[in-house]
Amino acid sequence: MAKIDGTAAPRPTPNRVVPVLAAVALVLVWLLDLGTIQPNRIVPGTGHGLVSAVGWPGAGLVSLVLIASLAVSILPLAWRYWALLVLAGLSLALLPLLLEVFAARHLPPDSPYARSSVGAGFWCLLFLLSLMLIEILGRLKAGRGVQLLVMVVIGGSWLVLLRGAGLESLSLVREFNAQPDKFAQALRAHLALAFGAVAVSAGLAVMLALKMMRSPAWQRPILGAVSFMQTIPSLAVFGLLIAPLSALSSAFPVLQELGVRGIGWAPALLALIAYSLLPMVRNTFVALTEVPESLADAGRGMGMSERQLFFQLKVPLALPVIIEGVRITTIQAIGLTAVAALIGAGGFGGFIFQGLGQSAMDLVLLGALPTIALALVADALFTLLAASLRPVPATA
């Protein structure tokens, strides 16, 4: 595969990024605590450095992997990036094993409340290895298939290891096991709010974009209004919606029965829709208006009606840009839904703010990490979708 792009023919130049990342990782992983052991949920734990945490064999293995990736990346070999991909991918996939060894070595056997948690050294290792993987995938010019395969292998391995018995003492797993139903409920609430808002705003955005295309006088007011909405901070919008919505719900008992109140899902959904409109309207409008007039003319010449022109030419050509708008909107909505927990809308933000209130950092992580994961998954899915919908240039 490397032969096609021609870089393999001359002597490959040494990579400078991977060695820097590997060296930084090597320093940090030796300097910082890999993990901590807590006697219970609230008491701050004692930190363990690399050697203390996983012993000399473990520390040696980690160092060896980092030094090996450093060495391979400066070797002038054509296949070095594939070797690095395997090395970095496998290390990332098996990273939770470090925590498993750590827990096995240090957890007192007779205290059911003791828990192990992840230290700064582990986070740094995870972060730098991920950067390395991104760099390697970029250099390989790896196709979507390879990227997806790598993600599935790493994600799958993490899931299997985290669900296994060896990591049961990990504080994050403890928090999850304490309330799996609540977690599932939060996931459902989060997805329903975020995707509900995206779906409603997509419908609204198409209508607004069509209105703007038909009557250009509406362009400035509509774009002005939706970007004004985007400027106001989320906390302020949630706050400002409380009074009018509670007034509405006390005036109309029907709304009250539907669950519309000053706090809860109703103001959250309204605010999320308002926020989602800007990227959605802008992208839909730009995408539909930027279809080249020459193409529309060609379509007309072939005898297409305006309706056919819209559905068979403009919409397919505009779709990747519209999907890009949906991607931005979805990521934003997933993040804002977490804030909406402050007004009682549920979702993963509930864990975050509850954890912050109780100073229970593991509960904070239980809310924050899935929120990030959701955003990353949505990002990957919509990027993939947009790429697969991009029209293939005609060969003629």
Partner 1 sequence: MRVWLPTVLLAALLGGLSVGMSVLEPLFAWVQPDTSRVIYERESFAFLLYNHLMLVVVSAVIGTIAAVAGGIFATRPAGRDFLPLVSQIASIGQTFPPVAVLALAVPVLGFGEAPILLALILYGLLPILRNTLAGLEGIDPAVREAALGMGMSPLQVLLRVELPLAGKVILAGIRTSVTINIATAAIGSTIGARTLGDPVIAGLVNGNTAYVLQGAILIGLLALTADSLFEALERNWDRHSGRVRPPVFR
Interface with partner 1: number of residues (CB under 8 A): 50
Q: Which long-range contacts (CB under 8 A, 24 or more apart) does 102-108 make?
A: 102/34, 102/35, 102/48, 102/53, 102/54, 103/35, 103/166, 103/167, 103/169, 103/170, 104/166, 105/53, 105/54, 105/55, 106/35, 106/37, 106/48, 106/53, 107/37, 107/169, 108/37
Contacts of 372 by beta carbon, 8 Å cutoff, 6+ apart = none
Residue 147 to residue 134: CA distance in whole angstroms: 9
Report the residue number, 9 or 232, with the smaller CB distance to partner 1.
232
Phi, psi angles (nearest 5°) of residue 115 = -145, 150
Q: Which parts of 20-59 interact with partner 1 (CB under 8 A)? A: none
Binding to partner 1 by residue 356, rule CB under 8 A? yes
CB of 43 to partner 1, least distance (A): 15
Q: Convert residues 229-248 into a mask of x (bound to partner 1 by CB under 8 A) and - (unbound).
A: -xxxxxxxxxxx-xx--x--
Report the residue number, 67 or 236, with the smaller CB distance to partner 1.
236
CB of 181 to partner 1, least distance (A): 22
Report the residue number, 59 or 352, with the smaller CB distance to partner 1.
352
Q: Convert residues 314-353 into a mask of x (bound to partner 1 by CB under 8 A) and - (unbound).
A: -----------------x--xxx-xx--xx-----x--xx
Phi and psi based region of residue 55 (left: phi greater than 0; alpha: psi -120 to 50; beta: remaining):
left
Give yes or no for a contact between 98 and 54, defined as CB atoms under 8 angstroms apart: yes
Binding to partner 1 by residue 361, rule CB under 8 A? yes
Residue of 262, 279, 299, 350 interacting with partner 1 (CB under 8 A): 262
Report the residue number, 66 or 328, with the smaller CB distance to partner 1.
328
Report the residue number, 246 or 315, with the smaller CB distance to partner 1.
246
Binding to partner 1 by residue 375, rule CB under 8 A? yes
CB of 17 to partner 1, least distance (A): 6
Binding to partner 1 by residue 126, rule CB under 8 A? no
CB of 296 to partner 1, least distance (A): 29
Residue of 182, 195, 210, 379 interacting with partner 1 (CB under 8 A): 379
Report the residue number, 37 or 313, with the smaller CB distance to partner 1.
37
CB of 334 to partner 1, least distance (A): 6
Binding to partner 1 by residue 368, rule CB under 8 A? yes
Give yes or no for a contact between 333 and 194, defined as CB atoms under 8 angstroms apart: yes
CB of 57 to partner 1, least distance (A): 29
- Both tokens assigned to 125: 């290792």
Binding to partner 1 by residue 125, rule CB under 8 A? no
Give yes or no for a contact between 107 and 99, defined as CB atoms under 8 angstroms apart: no
Binding to partner 1 by residue 263, rule CB under 8 A? yes
Q: Which parts of 129-158 interact with partner 1 (CB under 8 A)? A: 131, 134-135, 138-139
Q: Which parts of 156-185 interact with partner 1 (CB under 8 A)? A: none
Binding to partner 1 by residue 69, rule CB under 8 A? no
Please say whether the dihedral angle defined by the alpha carbons of residues 21, 26, 27 and 29, taken in this order, is positive or negative: positive
Binding to partner 1 by residue 303, rule CB under 8 A? no
Contacts to partner 1 by CB under 8 A: 15-17, 120, 131, 134-135, 138-139, 230-240, 242-243, 246, 262-263, 331, 334-336, 338-339, 342-343, 349, 352-353, 355-356, 359, 361, 364-365, 367-369, 371-372, 375-376, 379
